């Protein structure tokens, strides 16, 4: 069955370290998204991609970067982790070929920055 996976599911790191969160989907979806979810803020868009080699900044992109070298993967990198980046991170994908174009979410990664 097609799916979207994230790894690791839990990560503890220290301030200043570089961290990469993986997202992999097997739906052959064109569009991929990274969100963070914090109490009182709901889901906020960090970066998104509409296809290979395409990346765009979202609402809260400072301190994060992404790259899209193939259809299946959109890794999220925190260049120098900060305590304010402690959050739950969700990856999502959508086909980009349907009117509804529903986004489907991965299981999430809980990141703690000490």
Partner 1 sequence: GQNIDQPTEMTATEGAIVQINCTYQTSGFNGLFWYQQHAGEAPTFLSYNVLDGLEEKGRFSSFLSRSKGYSYLLLKELQMKDSASYLCAVRAHQTGANNLFFGTGTRLTVIP
Applying CB under 8 A, the residues found at the interface with partner 1 are 33, 35, 40-45, 48, 50, 56, 58, 90, 99-108
Asked if residues 101 and 112 have their Cβ atoms less than 8 Å apart, the reply is no
Q: Sort strands 4-7 and 64-66 into parallel, antiparallel or unpaired.
A: unpaired
Asked if residues 11 and 20 have their Cβ atoms less than 8 Å apart, the reply is no
Q: Given the complex with partner 1, which of 7 and 56 has the nearer CB atom?
A: 56
Give backbone dihedrals phi and psi of 85, rounded to 5 degrees, phi first.
-95, 5
Nearest distance, CB of residue 16 and partner 1, angstroms? 28
Nearest distance, CB of residue 42 and partner 1, angstroms? 4
Q: Which of 27, 7, 2, 10 is nearest to 91 (CA)?
A: 7
Q: Given the complex with partner 1, which of 27 and 50 has the nearer CB atom?
A: 50
Q: Given the complex with partner 1, which of 14 and 58 has the nearer CB atom?
A: 58
């Amino acid at each position: 069955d097609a799916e979207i996976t994230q790894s690791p599911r839990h990560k503890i790191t220290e301030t200043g370290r570089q961290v990469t969160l993986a997202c992999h989907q097997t739906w052959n979806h064109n569009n991929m998204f990274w969100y963070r979810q914090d109490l009182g803020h709901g889901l906020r868009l960090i970066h998104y991609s509409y296809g290979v080699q395409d990346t765009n900044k979202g609402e809260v992109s400072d301190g994060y970067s992404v790259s899209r070298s193939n259809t299946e993967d959109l890794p999220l990198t925190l260049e120098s982790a900060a305590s304010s980046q402690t959050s739950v991170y969700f990856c999502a994908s959508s086909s980009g070929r349907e009117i509804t174009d529903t986004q489907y979410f991965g299981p999430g990664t809980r990141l703690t920055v000490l």
